[in-house]
Amino acid sequence: MALDVQVQRARCIASKSCINSAPHTFSIDPTQVAVVTDASGDPDDDVVRAAEACPTGAITVYRDGIRLA
């Protein structure tokens, strides 16, 4: 099943660590906040790694209602 990837916009500082780990899943919008462009754009492990790398913990990843990161 597909991942549910969420970004808490108020916590994002646009460090771009998510883009370094999963460049096809995340991008930075014009307001300098990370957004999910395609939750299935990168391998699941890379998306989880991106969430874990976020310095503010702004990214959460779920599968089937279970939090992975």
Closest by alpha carbon to 4, among 45, 63, 46? 63
* Helical H segments across the chain, by residue range: 17-21, 44-53
Closest by alpha carbon to 41, among 3, 67, 7? 3
Contact 2, 40 (CB under 8 A): yes
Structural domains in the chain? 4-67 (3.30.70.20)
Task: Kindly indicate the confidence band of residue 62, based on its pLDDT and cuts at 50, 70 and 90.
Answer: very high
pLDDT in tens, 5-55: 999 999 999 999 999 999 999 999 999 999 999 999 999 999 999 999 999
Residue 1 pLDDT: 77
